[in-house]
Structure 1
Amino acid sequence: MTAANSTLGQGSYSTLPPTTTEKLGKLLYWPAVAALIVGALYLVFAVYATGQSAWATGLLVLLTAGFYVYLSRGGFAWRYLFPGIAGMLVFIAFPLVYTAQIGFTNYSSTHLLSESRVREYLLEQHDAVEEQVLGYSLHAEGAEFRLALQAEGEAAPRWVSPPLALRSGKELRVDLGPASAALGAALPLPELVKHREVLARLVLVLPDKTALHYLGLREFGPVKPQWTANADDSLTRTADGVLFKPNRDTGFFESADGETLQPGFKAFIGAANYTRMLFDAEFRGPFLSIFTWTVVFSALTVVFATAIGMLFAVMLNWEGMKFRTTYRTLLFLPYAVPGFISILVFKGLFNQNFGEINAILDALFGVKPAWFADPFLAKTMLLIVNVWLGYPYIMILCSGLLKAIPADLYEASALVGASPATNFFKITAPLIIKPLAPLLVSAFAFNFNNFVLIALLTDGRPDFLSTKLPAGQTDILVSYTYRIAFRDSGSDFGLAAAISTLIFFLVAALSLINLRLSAKAQK
């Protein structure tokens, strides 16, 4: 009976008919795939239509790889790896390559557009032919309107348009005819303002084929281009015939006598931004000072935070200490409070005139240091605040590492009469510094890019004097880069990208060191 039931069960399982859901899924599978492919191709075409052929090619390759991985048997092994690889390419590799590429250009607030777009912009500039400008009035005729044009000083209209609906849309050419029939009252200025967007798209054509363009709320007239394009990519100014050629070293259209046209265009300048960091004396001085301060700031923060955090961890590891849990909670508070709040609180405490720190120093010693005006004091203040924010992290790490040290070592040390200092330098420090080293390298890399502290506390001030680019004495590389790219240095994105690329390689080197130390710590 059991065997029969088993056989029956197996037969029933193997011959179960597909459910309605399975049938529907099989029926909709390929139409859904086709819809996804069509949508992907449309997306690629939309990117290509904007003139970004390189980006369209990269997107096409990525989407093609995705469809191959998930639709073919050959790509089955990559189905779980593809999302991670694609995400790494899109969110890590692409921004890095794009930033590095900008570092080899003159991309800035004065060189935002491509050369072709700047040429198109200049060719779109026109001047009105003043002697042929005609005034106009707009007259309602039922639900439609008529335009009447007359020269200045004339009472009667000279030309009249056919009835127009004045609906928004594309540019519309309208043939004008001689004024014959009487028109209604002209619309007042507020009504003209309501229709100005539609009127601006009209091109009125006179019987002699002269095209009149919208020139304002009261005038239409013919226009003439300011520039004429030449076969060698140069432009000729129609007013005086001066030739302007694209200078791809400076990113401007320039004449033979050095006159330049605005706006400039983005151009490839090679390693000029990198050589500027090294060989431009006016830039190299502040840059090297900021680079040195960045390294010193990061290193001293790690050293002081490690010393204080390790000291507190060793003290709190003493089981005979009363209220040890209370002390641990209080010492952990700087890490529990959001960092930006602590920074803003310290900014108030260090205020020269109203801060509590200067009030205490004035009462005790009669001094009120200028924390934000003096470069040395400003750097000292940054270190104090950053160590305050960073030591709880080290304290927690060391507390965990201390638990892993065998108690037998301290008992043996006590038998020979070793002092607490000997225990620390001979037992505690050697045993925790090895696993702690990779984490200290990570803390150094973090402080190397600690933009929030600088931006909220000093904003890089005080500034260096007589520098080509504004630079702060408390700036670190990342805040200096931000200042160059988005603040008061003309938005020099190319130079900022070059510095960002340098920061990347420095942090990447620190990461490699971190990996090496981690590998050694595990041995």
Structure 2
Amino acid sequence: MTKNSTTQPALRTWFKWAALGGISAINGYAIILMYARSEYAFALLTLILTSLGVYVFARQRTYAHRYIFPGIAGMILFIVFPLTYTVSLAFTNYSGTNQLSFERAQSVLMSQSFQSGTGYNFALYGQDGQYQFALETSEGTYLSDGVDLNALPESLNLRLAATPSAKKAPLKMVIQHRQQLSGLQVVLPNGEQLTMSGLRKFAASTPLYALQSDGETLVNQKTQAVYQPNWEIGFYQQVDEAGQFIGQPVSPGFIVNIGWDNFARIFTDPGIQGPFFSIFVWTVLFSGLTVVFTLAVGVVLAQVVSWEALKGRGVYRVLLILPYAVPAFISVLIFKGLFNQSFGEINQILQGLFGLNPSWFTDPFLAKTMILIVNTWLGYPYMMILAMGLLKSIPDDLYEASAMDGAGPLDNFFRITMPMLVKPMVPLLIATFAFNFNNFVLIQLLTNGAPDMLGTSVPAGHTDLLVSYTYRIAFEGSGGQDFGLAGAVATIIFLLVGGLSLLNMKLSKLDLE
């Protein structure tokens, strides 16, 4: 017994250290790979999580925290890291045109080339996988030995010879092996080196840019123009003799830190400032009105289905809760069809009864009205369920005393029922407000922000919420996806929603006290 009891802890200890060592080795290798590929943020994240895990499981003093480590790791991975990464992007020019590091952007520019000599027509002769490469020049036809197009060498020497008698390969054969041919270099007897410049042409090519001794300046070898990195905009740009930047920037750009410029654009650029504040006001109104409408409808219906004299209350409750059971995206798509301006059932009814044909998706006011109607339908069952539970907690003595004083149903509702319901629901109402503040699914599926605003610097719509506005900035920008600006807007959203969360916690604490 003593030997077994001693052996088992030793085995567990050995297994623990072996597992920690293996996990550390695997993650260490992954960190090195990510660092080598310039994925510094993900490398740092992996290093932090691995170090934290090894620290918790390796030390006896912290071993008890192993139960909360998965939760902490998940919080770092899915909350802290995305938030930190988004905020960091807000201070850069990261966009569709500026998403490379300086070194990578420089290497892309230096890989460009231009035709610096005469182009010559070429053809392939042969069959069954073996083809001769023929180049037609003013001196005659230059011919290579037979080669396999699927295993071409890096360089191929040509000799002056008669045109081969073999069958000429069709153009589709060239297209099929274009990738292999584009990496081929053919050498004439005089030493001239040619590369592919078209589907039927080879020509001498020269790198377009030459790197100077300072490691940053590039010279265009075709025009002799001098280019230097403009660290303010994140592009290479031509400079004059005085060293001043002139001309248009050269793509691709690179990522640079621009400080508070993205935040300044939000409040100073007329094409962003106007839409941003308009969307911000609409977001607040949408969230607030949704809370008011869903609360009103939910409380009224809860009162109705709680009425003891109502027969079949159980059936009505089930029917009224059904919208909450159906997935929201299905309900939204159904309403999108119902509100269709040409074929929707709602417009057909309005046309038949009143001769009306509202433009739900093109008129800003009607589009916002439609969104509020749909969101009220989606949200009232939640409020109704809460109100049904809270109604049972209201003492009947209050209603009896109110009846003795001669109060009617409306007096009871506004003086007893609503105050007794709203106070415990305040934290939930604030949470509902915060949820609808970021209700991306509803806007994306129902209107996609339409109708669009005119004269804006970035895509913006009259029904966009801040969250959908951020999405459109990041992924729908016509002048390049502006992830930096989207990060700045997302940071502002985080501060607003974070403030609401703190308010919610404070009110919840007051209610508990």
TM (normalized to structure 2)? Answer: 0.88
- Which residue matches 1:330? 319
Q: Are 1:503 and 2:493 matched, yes or no?
A: yes
What SS is found at the alignment partner of 1:335? helix
Across the aligned residues of Structure 1 and Structure 2, the Cα RMSD in angstroms comes to 3.1
Query: 1:12-411 maps to which residues of 2 (within 5 A)?
Result: 13-16=1-4, 32-131=19-118, 133=120, 135=122, 137=124, 148=133, 150-153=135-138, 155-157=140-142, 160=144, 172-174=153-155, 176=157, 178=159, 185=166, 188-189=169-170, 190-205=172-187, 210-230=192-212, 231=214, 233-256=216-239, 257-411=246-400
Higher Rg: 1
2:456 to 450, 467, 482: 467
How high is the sequence identity, in percent, across the aligned residues?
46
Structure-2 separation of matches of 1:480 and 1:65: 37
Q: Is the 8 A contact 2:91 2:259 kept in 1?
A: yes
Change over 3 Å in CA distance of 1:178–1:369 after alignment to 2: closer
What is the CA distance between 1:326 and its match in structure 2?
Answer: 2.1
Structure-2 separation of matches of 1:511 and 1:349: 36
Equivalent residue letter for 1:516:
K
Change over 3 Å in CA distance of 1:460–1:174 after alignment to 2: closer
Change over 3 Å in CA distance of 1:147–1:75 after alignment to 2: farther
Structure-1 separation of matches of 2:375 and 2:39: 44
Deviation readout 1:149-197 (Å, 9 max, x if unpaired): 544255553x645x7566559xx54463756999783662355555443
Deviates more, 1:28-37 or 1:452-461: 28-37
- Which residue matches 1:3? none
Deviates more, 1:306-315 or 1:208-217: 208-217
Structure-2 separation of matches of 1:447 and 1:356: 27
Q: Are 1:455 and 2:438 matched, yes or no?
A: no
What is the CA distance between 1:457 and its match in structure 2?
Answer: 2.1
What SS is found at the alignment partner of 2:118? helix
- Which residue matches 1:446? 435
What SS is found at the alignment partner of 2:67? coil
Equivalent residue letter for 1:202:
L
Change over 3 Å in CA distance of 1:186–1:50 after alignment to 2: farther
Query: 1:425-440 maps to which residues of 2 (within 5 A)?
Result: 425-440=414-429
Deviates more, 1:376-385 or 1:89-98: 376-385
Deviation readout 1:42-71 (Å, 9 max, x if unpaired): 111111111234542442232122223223
How many positions carry a matched residue from both structures? Answer: 504
Q: Is the 8 A contact 1:460 1:473 kept in 2?
A: yes
Structure-2 separation of matches of 1:272 and 1:101: 13
What is the CA distance between 1:271 and its match in structure 2?
Answer: 1.1
Change over 3 Å in CA distance of 1:255–1:398 after alignment to 2: same
Structure-2 separation of matches of 1:29 and 1:438: 45
Change over 3 Å in CA distance of 1:521–1:151 after alignment to 2: same
Deviation readout 1:251-298 (Å, 9 max, x if unpaired): 221113323212222222211111111122232112111110110111
Deviation readout 1:416-439 (Å, 9 max, x if unpaired): 443222322333222221210000
What is the CA distance between 1:357 and its match in structure 2?
Answer: 2.8
Q: Is the 8 A contact 2:87 2:487 kept in 1?
A: yes
Change over 3 Å in CA distance of 1:147–1:56 after alignment to 2: farther
Deviation readout 1:291-328 (Å, 9 max, x if unpaired): 10110111011111111111111222222222222222
Deviates more, 1:425-434 or 1:178-187: 178-187
1:479 to 468, 474, 478: 468
Deviation readout 1:393-430 (Å, 9 max, x if unpaired): 10100111111222333333334443222322333222
- Unaligned runs of 5+ residues in structure 2 are 240-245
Equivalent residue letter for 1:176:
N
Equivalent residue letter for 1:507:
V
What SS is found at the alignment partner of 1:130? strand
TM (normalized to structure 1)? Answer: 0.86
What SS is found at the alignment partner of 1:258? strand
Structure-1 separation of matches of 2:279 and 2:173: 59
What SS is found at the alignment partner of 1:354? coil
Q: Is the 8 A contact 1:242 1:255 kept in 2?
A: yes
Structure-2 separation of matches of 1:317 and 1:413: 19
What SS is found at the alignment partner of 1:384? helix
Equivalent residue letter for 1:467:
T
Deviates more, 1:146-155 or 1:311-320: 146-155
Deviation readout 1:355-386 (Å, 9 max, x if unpaired): 33333333443333222222222211211121
What is the CA distance between 1:212 and its match in structure 2?
Answer: 3.6
What SS is found at the alignment partner of 2:343? coil
Q: Is the 8 A contact 1:173 1:205 kept in 2?
A: no
Q: Is the 8 A contact 2:120 2:135 kept in 1?
A: no
Change over 3 Å in CA distance of 1:240–1:437 after alignment to 2: same
What is the CA distance between 1:462 and its match in structure 2?
Answer: 1.9
